[in-house]
Structure 1
Amino acid sequence: MATRYRWRHGDIVARAEELAAEIHATGGEERRVVALECGRGLPSVVALTAALLAGQLPLLGSGADPAGRRERLREVAGAALVVSTSPDGEPLVAPCDAAAAAVAPWPQAVYLAVTSGTIGEPKVAPVSRGVFDSYVRDIQDAYALTAEDRVLQFAPPGFDVFVEEVIPTFRAGATLVVPPWEHAPTGEQFLGFLDAEAVTVVNLPGSYWMGLAEYLRSSGRGLPASVRLVVVGSEPWARTLAEWARGRFPEVKMLNAYGTSEVAPTCFIFDCEDLPKACASVGIIPIGGPLPFVRHEVVPQPDSPHGRLHLAGQPHFGSAQSAIDSGDLASHGADGFVYVHGRADLTRLKRGGVTVNAESLAGAARECYGVLGALARLDRKSGALVLTVQSTGTPDTVARLVSDHLRTVLPPAWLPDRIQVASGLAQVAGTKLSTVSVEVELESLVRAAWSRRTASHAVDPQADFFDTGGDSIGAVRLCAQLSDALAERVPVQLIFANSRFADFVEAVGALLRSRSDRPEGRA
């Protein structure tokens, strides 16, 4: 019999009812936290539905996380039950520690998201019923979901976008299409599946969308004719890519989505049809404007052209929740759109939709015996997450010990791709490593790197990188070259926000000064 990938709400409820009864019988009459630790795909969809049917409070999670992390999340949330998947794919319900079996302390919450788990100690983010209902209604409207749609379920179950793919789809009476992938598919696999299942709506992280776009460009393939909407979120993407996609697929609506777990997976939306209205001098596309249920404020920061973005959910009927600091730098453009310029804490690295705090990762490595210092960074050429540790031990032995330790405390998505062992390390501000003083003439260094990536050899201070032959790939390479030369991460967002040569030199200088002035200690 052919494998089934398309599911209506009634189909999922029929599969979830028995599990819901088991959850209720195991947990008792009181409302408790249920940790969802199933595999990717259909098991997690059924488990989420069953927890809600049983009147319990689901904690988003994944069976792919290490056992130590799953235990810590249960402890932080006070989970009473855990739903996992057996080797043969059947759901399993088990009670947690008796000490953690208290009644859920969030009576108005629909589900619990986990935030900051990718940068340190995880926190529980309860999403309230009033905000959630308003959010679902606004998403249905923004995505124009109808009963005729077939919506792809792509996000891993530990991410809150998973909820966005499931609940608004079923509320609209649409079909959820659940693929069999355990890991992100190749471009060929992805497009073939969309075509075979006549998928109409996809919601992708920025990193996957950028890779897929490169595959589409190099192969000459197009999106399946069934696709009407592509939503891209989690990471910023370049204006040049948005312009290419808009020109290449004019029949497909392209949306840039932005949100935060404490409020909702999507709080802002920008329609790429509005690109001609957006500031042409900014290399990134805006996050647009807030959905109706969101109120926001850009709080000014001293000595910075950008402020910190604060958000709160506002139910259509009821009072707003308290505002939270998103941790992102933002600005209101003259075009009326909101722009996000990266993390306020630049030690936070974006990698495949996951935020990794470089100092927190290094701190986990420093817990290992014999490690004197550690530094985590992204290799801008390969995109690899590299961990360098300082030790007097044998390099192979130290690397193995560190790797084994990290696998017990970190989820797979943010383990380093490579571990290097050195007896001495150059200092990057914010780390406690041996100091190597390197003096460079900043403007000359930037000028040389800039000239390699543009058509201009005599660089004018007012020259714009993107007007003189530079593109998004060249911007990545420019920042990678400077990162290597300065032994300091220069985020690519810096050139998108400061594309004139003089402005970029000043921005890099300000970045270096801010790092050197920062006192030692954890960020």
Structure 2
Amino acid sequence: MPETFPDVLRRFWRTAGLHPRAVAVVDAAGSTTYAALRARAAQVAGALGPRPGTVGVLTDRGAGTVAALLGVLAAGGTYCPVDPAFTAERKKELAETAAIRTVLTPRPDPEPFGPPVLGPGLPAADGSFEPLPPAPDDPAYVLFTSGSTGRPKPVVTPRGAVAAAVHSLAELLEVGPGDRVLQFASLNWDTSFEEILPTLTRGATLVFDADAHSGSLPRFLRMLDRLRVSVLDLPTAFWHELVHHLTEDGGTALPESVRTVVIGGEATSRARLGNWRTLPGTDRIRLVNTYGCTETTLVTHAGDLHGPHSRAPEDGSAPIGRALPHVRERIGADGELLVGGPALALGYLGLPEATAERFPVLDGVRHFRTGDRVRRGERGELHHEGRLDDQIKVRGIRVDPAEVEAQLCAHPGVASAAATGVAAGDHTVVVAYVTAGRPDDGTDLAAELRAHLRRHAPGHLRPHRITVVPELVHTASGKVDRRRTHHRYTTGA
């Protein structure tokens, strides 16, 4: 009989009952206790009513968004975060694709984009409110991944998958009362759930602070010390920058409160890992490398690269680790990692062919084809060996170049486009090449495109550099060859 895991909403509800006065969230407005957060979640659920379908939430860094997430789950609904910085056009597209019925917003008078809106000032909840009992296959949330068709694909993740992943992750990181976990990731990506859900199901405190996103590493470090943060979950690219700063500064160290640093989303630099291992005080800090896909729910593989539990190879490499207890893994003949187990998404909403292609049943077990090539090390750990397709990771976010190209080609001045990822120091950026679809009229097409993308595309789909070129390089079959195009216009070959 398959193992069952405690539903995250029920576990939060029970934790709030056991520790009502403990601090659940710290944000710009102050501290919110577990009892107060549960009351706010009940208020949201009461306003939505039972089984509200998919609920869009205009995210905001604070307890309000956390209460909205918990409230949607308590009502038996499906949570779908919506970036308030998106244009009304993109919000409308996401709302239609995800079948959003209602929108929750912490702000008064939001710009309308289709579904009815519930704003601040919800009626008080009945003190006897109890969450609806969930089933493992009930959808918990809908998130979007980059798609090769040029349109984002909505991934539907069930409650049982979230329960399995959160249980394993909380056990791995040993999160519990007394921990203070920084909320750093975008609230529109699943990494934020890695921070929020283990924290609030185990009686720890979730910390929001503007200095986490100030762009100043000294301010970031002072904030960690001031708020006594103990657990950090950082994109690998940001961790690279942090290690470089600590190495160059010489006299600065991570605060004594920090006990665990989790990284993931991109390949770890051997040089930065070597720097980290020589920094004062890092021997006491767990450095945990993680791997996972939106379709496999949060984290599926992890390994300690440094610190008290490290089993990392001595050659300085940074494996993605071993499968967590709830995960079933297999490696295909071409080296592709396939993931099975209870934490798989239900599939892509409204895209049965794409779902069938990426979620095959092998030997009677449903798996997800990650598209990542791996090899197994001598100690059983997995090492990432690159992609089998053209997808890239930009600061931890999966990007399909075809979606970038579709955004560029939506501009009337573009005839064709090619986008690819290139290394820029310790991280990856997207660069794009376009051909003009109109005679040269003296306008700066690249500048027009940057303005166009600021209005119509999220940040991860905006190229770091756009170059207008006379032609793109094509393969023998007539397809655009992205890498050879980049090579031609960077080397002249």
Q: TM-score range by the shorter chain?
A: 0.7 to 0.9
Give the corresponding residue for 1:497.
none
Return the letter of the residue paired with 2:290.
A
Give the corresponding residue for 1:356.
399
Pairing partner for 1:416 from 437, 443, 463: 463
Pairing partner for 2:259 from 228, 233, 253: 228
8 A Cα contact 1:81 1:94, kept in partner: yes
Give the corresponding residue for 1:210.
240
Give the corresponding residue for 1:336.
380
How far residue 14 of structure 1 moved from its aligned partner, in angstroms, is 3.2
Which stretches in structure 2 are left out of the alignment for 5+ residues?
1-26, 118-133, 344-363
Query: How far apart in 2 are the matches of 1:432 and 1:111?
Result: 36
Query: How far apart in 2 are the matches of 1:185 and 1:23?
Result: 37
8 A Cα contact 2:32 2:63, kept in partner: no
1:265-322 per-residue CA deviation (whole Å, 9 max, x = no partner) reads 11111111499855556x6411111111111111112xxxxx111112337xxxx972
Query: How has the CA–CA distance of structure 1 residues 483 and 46 changed in structure 2, closer, same or farther, with 3 Å as cutoff?
Result: farther
Query: How far apart in 1 are the matches of 2:414 and 2:165?
Result: 47
Secondary structure of residue in 2 paired with 1:255: strand
Query: How far apart in 1 are the matches of 2:422 and 2:441?
Result: 24
Pairing partner for 1:252 from 267, 272, 285: 285
8 A Cα contact 2:303 2:311, kept in partner: no
Query: How far apart in 2 are the matches of 1:420 and 1:223?
Result: 40
- Farther-moved stretch of structure 1 (233-242 vs 397-406): 397-406
Secondary structure of residue in 2 paired with 1:236: coil
TM-score by length of 1: 0.71
1:331-368 per-residue CA deviation (whole Å, 9 max, x = no partner) reads 212221111112211x3232222222223322332333
How far residue 406 of structure 1 moved from its aligned partner, in angstroms, is 3.2
How far residue 242 of structure 1 moved from its aligned partner, in angstroms, is 2.5
How far residue 407 of structure 1 moved from its aligned partner, in angstroms, is 3.9
8 A Cα contact 2:180 2:207, kept in partner: yes
Query: How far apart in 2 are the matches of 1:400 and 1:240?
Result: 36
8 A Cα contact 2:336 2:388, kept in partner: yes
Give the corresponding residue for 2:230.
200
Query: How has the CA–CA distance of structure 1 residues 341 and 7 changed in structure 2, closer, same or farther, with 3 Å as cutoff?
Result: farther
How far residue 106 of structure 1 moved from its aligned partner, in angstroms, is 9.4
- Farther-moved stretch of structure 1 (236-245 vs 164-173): 236-245
Give the corresponding residue for 2:43.
18
8 A Cα contact 1:146 1:174, kept in partner: yes
Query: How has the CA–CA distance of structure 1 residues 386 and 116 changed in structure 2, closer, same or farther, with 3 Å as cutoff?
Result: closer
8 A Cα contact 2:212 2:223, kept in partner: no
Give the corresponding residue for 1:77.
98
Secondary structure of residue in 2 paired with 1:396: coil
How far residue 254 of structure 1 moved from its aligned partner, in angstroms, is 0.7
Query: How far apart in 1 are the matches of 2:74 and 2:62?
Result: 19
Query: How has the CA–CA distance of structure 1 residues 58 and 93 changed in structure 2, closer, same or farther, with 3 Å as cutoff?
Result: farther
Query: How far apart in 2 are the matches of 1:107 and 1:95?
Result: 27
Secondary structure of residue in 1 paired with 2:380: coil
How far residue 9 of structure 1 moved from its aligned partner, in angstroms, is 3.2
Query: How far apart in 1 are the matches of 2:61 and 2:283?
Result: 32
8 A Cα contact 1:146 1:173, kept in partner: yes
Query: How has the CA–CA distance of structure 1 residues 413 and 188 changed in structure 2, closer, same or farther, with 3 Å as cutoff?
Result: same
8 A Cα contact 1:6 1:176, kept in partner: no
| Matched-pair identity in % | 29
8 A Cα contact 1:151 1:165, kept in partner: yes
1:148-181 per-residue CA deviation (whole Å, 9 max, x = no partner) reads 1011111111110111211110111011111135
8 A Cα contact 2:288 2:302, kept in partner: yes
Give the corresponding residue for 1:60.
81
Secondary structure of residue in 1 paired with 2:197: helix
Return the letter of the residue paired with 1:416.
P
Q: Note the aligned Cα RMSD (angstroms).
A: 3.6
Query: How far apart in 2 are the matches of 1:172 and 1:409?
Result: 39
Pairing partner for 2:336 from 295, 308, 312: 308
Secondary structure of residue in 2 paired with 1:390: strand
1:437-456 per-residue CA deviation (whole Å, 9 max, x = no partner) reads 99xxxxxxxxxxxxxxxxxx
- 1:52-451 → structure 2 map (5 Å cutoff): 52-86=73-107, 95=116, 108-116=138-146, 120-180=150-210, 183=213, 185-220=215-250, 221-248=252-279, 249-273=282-306, 278-279=312-313, 284-301=317-334, 307-314=335-342, 322-345=366-389, 347-378=390-421, 380-381=423-424, 384-391=429-436, 392-394=439-441, 396-425=443-472
Return the letter of the residue paired with 1:255.
V
- Farther-moved stretch of structure 1 (243-252 vs 378-387): 378-387
**Counting helix residues as a fraction of each chain, which structure ranks higher?**
1
Query: How has the CA–CA distance of structure 1 residues 384 and 119 changed in structure 2, closer, same or farther, with 3 Å as cutoff?
Result: farther
8 A Cα contact 1:82 1:93, kept in partner: no
Query: How has the CA–CA distance of structure 1 residues 481 and 278 changed in structure 2, closer, same or farther, with 3 Å as cutoff?
Result: farther
How many equivalent pairs are there? 422
1:96-130 per-residue CA deviation (whole Å, 9 max, x = no partner) reads 8xxxxxxx999522222322359832222222222
Query: How has the CA–CA distance of structure 1 residues 483 and 160 changed in structure 2, closer, same or farther, with 3 Å as cutoff?
Result: farther
Pairing partner for 1:30 from 47, 51, 57: 51
Which stretches in structure 1 are left out of the alignment for 5+ residues?
97-103, 302-306, 439-479, 488-523
Give the corresponding residue for 2:66.
45
Query: How far apart in 1 are the matches of 2:376 and 2:36?
Result: 45
8 A Cα contact 2:141 2:157, kept in partner: yes
8 A Cα contact 2:244 2:272, kept in partner: no
How far residue 257 of structure 1 moved from its aligned partner, in angstroms, is 0.7
